[in-house]
Amino acid sequence: MIRRAVIAAIGLLLLVVSARADPAFQQWLQTTWPQARELGVARSTFDAGIRGLEPDFGLPDLALPGRPEAAAQQPEFVQTPAQYLREPTFARLAAQGKKLAAQYRDTLARIEKVFGVPGNVVLAIWARETDYGAERQPHDALRVLATQAYVGKRKDFFRNEFLHALKMLQDGVPRENLRSSWGGAMGLTQFLPSEYYKYAVDFDGDGRADIWHSVPDALASAAKQLAGKGWQAGKPWAIEVRPPSNVDCTIAEPSVMRPVGEWLKHGYVPAYGRKLTAVELAAEASLLLPEGTYGPAFLTPKNYYVLKDYNYSDLYVLFVGHLSDRIAGGRPFQTPWSKNAQLKTKEVETMQQRLTSLGLYKDKLDGKAGMLTRAALGAYQKKNGLKVDCWPTAAVLDHMRR
């Protein structure tokens, strides 16, 4: 009994010490009060929200002087397509998605009627974000958002999100609902606080926009967000194709747009020989080669980039889009993903720096091998007489270093 009391006392002492471990953070929290007040947050709500709050220096994407940066945890940016887009995962989630599509048939039909977004698309977002609600969010959202606003790489962005999280408390969202990912997103379909205020919908008619427990509210909110970002009703998200053998992978980037019908005239063939509708043929689309000249190829119209605005990752969009097709009865990718290795983030960043110095790349130095990085890499390969496959490898990086 005495031992338990001692342990409890030590735990309480550690809690008090940790809460006081960063007085600068406590001072910083107080600087947010004037802006919180402007958003309608009462002082009592503000004080309750920040009471006991301390920074979490173990989060990714922080800028801590003298400390190594925590490794990024988003699988979209560290896994290869083959690792991220696994057929067993699609088969499992599609089977469950079909059951949910039947269960929520009337709700999904109403969502599509109101927002123009198909039910299978919002079901796929729900699956990717929280495994249809099975995944529990591990972090306290206020702590995450405050930490990112205090020492993160996007302080202003997260300061705004922290303030809106306090507003959520003021407006009656229970404190226990504010559980999030390491990036501060919450609910079944993962909304940041400011997105909650822009897009959250009371779709079940109970007077509350409950993205945590109400499936109709969460799915309708996701649909409203996609519509707000420009979703085009009745248009495809992407079309898998087989490219011609002489495909120029350097044109696989968003600025090169053609009607789908034009791409087909240049030798691109829809997967499984599918016949496209007049709407699909007329859609303006760019070419996407997620693994350069390896793996599947896609023609990507406007809706692809709307999904990408939901989560800025090609792999995320491919996951959600393909899963939505599978829920609707579609088939697996026709072309298999390759087993190419993924360069480390720092290596890709080094490659981006070199491509920038050569005038071939003009985007962010973020260590992510996205469309523009792959296209620039292909231009480098062309210029130097290398095999043009637009895929970052250690061999090409070594060539750049020489």
Q: Is the pLDDT of residue 14 over 70?
A: no
| Mean pLDDT calculated for residue range 256-269 | 98
Q: Using 50, 70 and 90 to split pLDDT, how confident is the model at 5? A: very low
Task: Look at residue 79 in the predicted model and tell me its pLDDT.
Answer: 82
Task: Look at residue 312 in the predicted model and tell me its pLDDT.
Answer: 83
Four-residue CA torsion sign, 135, 140, 145, 147: negative
Task: Look at residue 311 in the predicted model and tell me its pLDDT.
Answer: 87
Q: Using 50, 70 and 90 to split pLDDT, how confident is the model at 67? A: low
pTM of the entire predicted model? 0.90
Tokens of 77: 């940016």
Task: Look at residue 342 in the predicted model and tell me its pLDDT.
Answer: 82
Cα–Cα dist 28/323, whole Å? 43
All structural domains of the chain with their residue ranges = 20-54+138-180, 345-401
Q: Is the pLDDT of residue 8 over 50?
A: no
Q: Is the pLDDT of residue 223 over 50?
A: yes
Task: Look at residue 66 in the predicted model and tell me its pLDDT.
Answer: 64
Q: Is the pLDDT of residue 236 over 70?
A: yes
Task: Look at residue 184 in the predicted model and tell me its pLDDT.
Answer: 96
Span 369-385, pLDDT tens digits: 999 999 999 999 999 99
Task: Look at residue 75 in the predicted model and tell me its pLDDT.
Answer: 59
Task: Look at residue 167 in the predicted model and tell me its pLDDT.
Answer: 98
Task: Look at residue 77 in the predicted model and tell me its pLDDT.
Answer: 57
Q: How far is CA 59 from CA 64, 167, 236, 262, in A?
A: 11, 23, 37, 46
Q: Is the pLDDT of residue 50 over 50?
A: yes
CATH class of 345-401: mainly alpha
Angle of CA points 314, 316, 319, to nearest 5°: 110
| Mean pLDDT calculated for residue range 101-126 | 98
| Mean pLDDT calculated for residue range 314-337 | 97
Task: Look at residue 3 in the predicted model and tell me its pLDDT.
Answer: 42
Tell me, letter by letter, the H, E, C secondary structure of the chain.
CHHHHHHHHHHHHHHHHHHCCCHHHHHHHHHCHHHHHHCCCCHHHHHHHHCCCCCCCCCCCECCCCCCCCCCCCHHHCCCHHHHCCHHHHHHHHHHHHHHHHHCHHHHHHHHHHHCCCHHHHHHHHHHHHCCCCCCCCEEHHHHHHHHHHHECCHHHHHHHHHHHHHHHHCCCCHHHCEECCCCCECCCCECHHHHHHHCCCCCCCCCCCCCCCHHHHHHHHHHHHHHCCCCCCCCCCEEEECCCCCCHHHCCCCCCEEHHHHHHCCCEEHHHCCCCHHHHHCEEEEECEEEEECCEEEECHHHHHHHHHCCCHHHHHHHHHHHHHHCCCCCCCCCCCCCCCCCHHHHHHHHHHHHHCCCCCCCCCCCCCHHHHHHHHHHHHHCCCCCCCCCCHHHHHHHHC
Q: Is the pLDDT of residue 11 over 50?
A: no
Q: Using 50, 70 and 90 to split pLDDT, how confident is the model at 257? A: very high
> 36 or 2, which is more confident?
36
Task: Look at residue 158 in the predicted model and tell me its pLDDT.
Answer: 98
Closest by Cα among 204, 228, 200 to 215: 204
Encode 26-40: b = buried (16+ Cβ within 10 Å), e = exposed: eebbeebbeebeeee
Q: Is the pLDDT of residue 400 over 50?
A: yes
Mean pLDDT of all residues belonging to the chain: 92
Lowest mean pLDDT segment, chosen from 76-80, 87-91, 180-184, 264-268: 76-80
Q: Is the pLDDT of residue 19 over 50?
A: no
| Mean pLDDT calculated for residue range 201-215 | 97
Radius of gyration of the chain (CA): 24
Span 122-152, pLDDT tens digits: 999 999 999 999 999 999 999 999 999 999 9
Contact 145, 105 (CB under 8 A): no
| Mean pLDDT calculated for residue range 343-358 | 94
Task: Look at residue 68 in the predicted model and tell me its pLDDT.
Answer: 54
Contact 54, 21 (CB under 8 A): yes
Span 147-173, pLDDT tens digits: 999 999 999 999 999 999 999 999 999
* Cβ partners under 8 Å of residue 170, min gap 6: 39, 40, 41, 42, 45
Contact 98, 327 (CB under 8 A): yes
Contact 124, 316 (CB under 8 A): no
